Amino acid sequence: MTEKKKILVVDDEENLRHMLQVLLKKQGYLVEQAPDGAEALTKAREGNYSFILCDIRMPVMDGKSFLTACTKAGVGATVIMMSAYGTVDDAIECMKLGAYDYISKPFNSDEVALVLKKAEERERLKDENRRLREEVGRGSTFSEIITRNARMSEIMQLVKKLSEHKTTVLIQGESGTGKELIARALHNCGSRRQGPFVAVNCGAIPSSLLESELFGHVRGAFTDASYDKVGLFEEANGGTLFLDEIAELPLPLQVKLLRVLQEGEIRRVGGAAATKVDVRVVSATSRDLVQEVANGKFREDLYFRLNVFALFLPPLRARIEDVPLLVEHFLQKYGTLMGKPGVRPSPEALQALVHYRWPGNVRELENCIERGLVLCEGTALGLAALPEVVREEAGLERSLPELPDSLSIKKGAEALERRLIVRALEQTGGNRTHAARLLEISHRALLYKLKEYDLG
Domains of the chain: 6-135 (3.40.50.2300), 151-314 (3.40.50.300), 317-392 (1.10.8.60), 409-452 (1.10.10.60)
Closest Cα to residue 31, out of 17, 13, 16?
17
CA 237, chain centre distance (Å): 27
Query: What is the distance, to the nearest Å, from the Cα of residue 231 to the centroid of all Cα atoms in its chain?
Result: 30
CB 149 within 8 A of CB 321: yes
Question: Burial of 152 by CB count in 10 Å (0-12 exposed, 13-18 middle, 19+ buried)?
Answer: buried
Query: What pLDDT, on a 0 to 100 scale, did the predictor assign at position 149?
Result: 86
CA-based nearest residue to 381, from 412, 352, 346: 346
The 3-state secondary structure of 142-211, one letter per residue: CCCCCCCCHHHHHHHHHHHHHCCCCCCEEEECCCCCCHHHHHHHHHHHCHHHHCCEEEEECCCCCHHHHH
Alpha helices in 194-346 (DSSP H): 207-215, 232-235, 251-263, 289-294, 300-306, 323-338
Would you say residue 299 has pLDDT above 90?
yes
Task: Give the residue, 327 or 134, on which the prediction is more confident.
Answer: 327
Mean pLDDT across the stretch 56-62? Answer: 87
Chain CA centroid to CA 98, Å:
36
Q: Is it true that the peptide bond before 106 is cis, omega within 30 degrees of 0?
A: yes
- According to DSSP, the β-strands at 229-230 and 240-244 are unpaired
CA distances to 23, 204, 239, 261, 302 from 199, in Å? 56, 12, 11, 17, 19
- Higher model confidence: residue 438 or residue 133? 438
CB neighbour list of residue 290: distance below 8 Å, 6 or more residues apart: 303, 432, 433, 443
Classify residue 324 by burial, with Cβ atoms within 10 Å: 0-12, 13-18, 19+.
middle
303, pLDDT greater than 90: yes
Please give the single-letter amino acid code of residue 375. L
pLDDT at 191 over 60: yes
Do residues 293 and 300 touch, judged by C-beta distance below 8 A? yes
| Res 195 pLDDT > 60 | yes
SS3 breakdown of the chain: % helix, strand, coil, rounded to 5? 50, 15, 35
> Is residue 133 pLDDT above 70, yes or no?
no
CB 42 within 8 Å of CB 66: no
Least confident among 35-39, 123-127, 202-206, 324-328? 123-127
Q: Give the C-alpha separation, 93 to 68, whole Å.
A: 11
SS3 291: helix
The 10 Å Cβ neighbour count of residue 299 is 18
Q: Residue 321's pLDDT is what?
A: 87
Strands 229-230 and 216-217: antiparallel
Task: Report whether pLDDT(30) > 80.
Answer: yes
Give the separation between CA 141 and CA 160, rounded to whole angstroms.
9
pLDDT higher than 80, residue 308: yes
Q: What integer best gives the mean pLDDT of the chain?
A: 84
